[in-house]
Structure 1
Amino acid sequence: MHSSICMPISPSSHPLLKPNHNPFLGDCLSSRPYLRLRRRASVTTRALLSTAKEAVLRDFQERRALKIISGLQNFNRDNVALVVTAAEKGGATHVDIACDPELVKLAISLTSLPVCVSSVDPSAFPAAVEAGALMVEIGNYDSFYEMGVVFSPEKILNLTKETKSILPSVILSVTVPHTLSLPDQVKLAEMLEQEGVDIIQTEGGKSSNPSKPGVLGLIEKATPTLAAAYSISRAVKIPVMCSSGLSSVTAPMAITAGAAGVGVGSAVNKLNDVVAMIAEVRSITNSLGASAVRHSTSEERALRR
C-alpha cells in the first residue's frame, strides 16, 4: 500500500489535518514551530495519516467491523441522518453514505464513527475526503443493476487505479460484483489486492430470491455473499467485508466464513422509524458480539487440546 502523498497538503486547509477534526487524529496537529519546516511537516503528515488509517482499520483486523450503509444514490438528508444516528446508537463501527461533501459534513456532525463514501466516480472522492470522509468505496452497485448497468473487471480495475492515483493514502474499499462467477470474483479480488486496495467487499443479496419464509429465507438470501466471502477471504490477505442481504441471523455466519466485517444496508435504511433502525443495528451488533465470544471460546478449546 502506498504511503506517499501526490501533492503537498496544507495542514491549515485539509480537514484530516485540522486540530480536533476527528477523534482518530486527536490534537496532534496543533500549531507547533516544527510544522513550519516543510520536510518535517511532510513526515508528520504521513505519520498522522498512517495512524488514522490504522485506527479506522482496527475493527476489520479484529474481525468485528459493522458498516451501516445508507445507499450510494441516497441523497435524502433526513434519511441519511436517521441511518447515521442508528449506526452511532446501535453500536456499529463504520457508516457508509453517498459521496457528497454536504452529507459528509452532516454525518460527522452526528457521529464519531469513521465515515465512508461510496461512488463509481473517482473524481468525486476528493471533495468528500476534504469534508471529512476517512474511507472511500468503489461499489454498492445495486442501484445500477436496477438500470441494467453492470461492471466488468476491467472497469473496476480502472476505477481503482484512478482512485489510487488521486488519493493514494486514503483507505480504499472495492466491491467485487456478484454478476461475476465465483472464480472470477476471486481472480478480481486478487488483482485488486495487488493494486493496493485495503478492503474487498462482497455482494449478492440482489441476486437471491428466497423460496422459504423466516430464518430459512434469511439464510437463502445471504448465500451468494457468504459464498463470495468464504472464497475471497481464502485468496487474499486484506480484510473482506461481507455485504448485501445480511441480517442478524446471517451476519455471524459471514464472520465464520472468513469475513473481517459485515455491511448492512436495506435491512436498516428501508425502515421508517429511527427507533426501529437502532433496534436492527443493535440486533446485528449483538449477534456479532455473541459470534466473537463463541469464536474465542472455540480457539481456547483448540489450544488446550
Structure 2
Amino acid sequence: MKPALPALPVSRDIDPVSLRLFLSALEEGSLARAAARENIVPSAVSKRMSEMEDVFGVPLLERGVKGVQPTPAGNALATHARRLLQDMDRMHREMAGFATGVRGHIRLAVSVAALSGELPAQIQSFRRAYPQIDISLEEDTTQAAFRSVLEGHADVAAGSDFGHDGLQVFPCGHCELAAVVPGQHLLADRETLDYAQLLPFEQIELNRDNGISSVFEQAAKEAGVMRRISARVSSHETICMLVARGMGVAVVPQYLKARLPHLDIRFVPLTGPWSSTPICIAVRDPEALPPAARALLAHLKVLPGA
C-alpha cells in the first residue's frame, strides 16, 4: 500500500511536494496521470490541490471529464512554482557539490556556431583553472540553447546574437561564415561573395531554428528577394554533402572547410555585413547565477569589469 502524504498545513507556506504535484497535474492534464507519474494515489493529489486552493483562496485548476487545466491563477502559480523548484534544485546540486568536494556544476547549452570559434579552447582553459567544477555541455540550435536557459534547464547558453528576449546577453566573439557551392558551380572561382549573389540559387539550410538561417532570412528581406529553399537537413555536414551533389548552395561556418576536404565543393568567404554572425553568452540574471557559472562568465571575460 502506498504511503499517504502528510497533510498540507493551512498557512502561507506551500511545500515543494505540493508544487511538484501541481506542475505534474498541469503537464499530464490529469490528476490520475500525475499520481501515477509521482507514484502516489490520485486522492492524495486531489487533496493537495484542494488544500493549495484553500491556502491561496482562488481556484487553481478547472476540473472536467477530460482532465484538468489551469485557471489564470493556476498559470501564474505555475510560473512561480517552476522558478522556485529550479532554484531549489540548483541549491541542492551546489550543496551536494560542496559535500563531495566537486564544488560546482555548470549546465552549458551551445550552438554549432558558438563551437566554431574560441569557445571550446576557453572551456578547456576554464576546466584546467577550476578542476573542481563540472561542466555539462549540450549542443543544439541557438534558439533551443536560449530556451534551455529561459526554462531553467541550462545555466548558460552560447549562440548567435539573435532572438534572445528575456535573457541578458554579453558579446563573446564571432562565427566566420562562408558560402559553399559545388566545385563546378559558376560562383566556384570567386575569391569572395556577397550574400546577395547567392539569392538567385536554391539554398540548403538546417531543418531547425538557428541563428545563421535567421540572419540570412533577414538579409533576403532587406534585399527584397524571396529565398528558395531546396532542402532542410539536420546538420551542416549534411548540407555540404547535398551541395556537393548539386542540390543547391548554402552558408555555413567557415571552420567546416578543414573538416570536409574530400567533397567536391568550394568554400568562398562572405563579405559585407553578413560575413560573420556575432556570438553571445546568454543568461537569465547574472546576479542569480550559481558561483560556478559566475566563475565561468568571469573566465570568459564577458561580465562588465571582468
Report the structure, 1 or 2, having the larger helix content. Answer: 1
Q: What interval of TM-score do these two structures reach, taking the shorter chain for normalisation?
A: under 0.3
Please report the TM-score for the alignment, with normalisation by the length of structure 1.
0.23
Structure whose alpha-carbon radius of gyration is higher? 2
Please report the TM-score for the alignment, with normalisation by the length of structure 2.
0.23
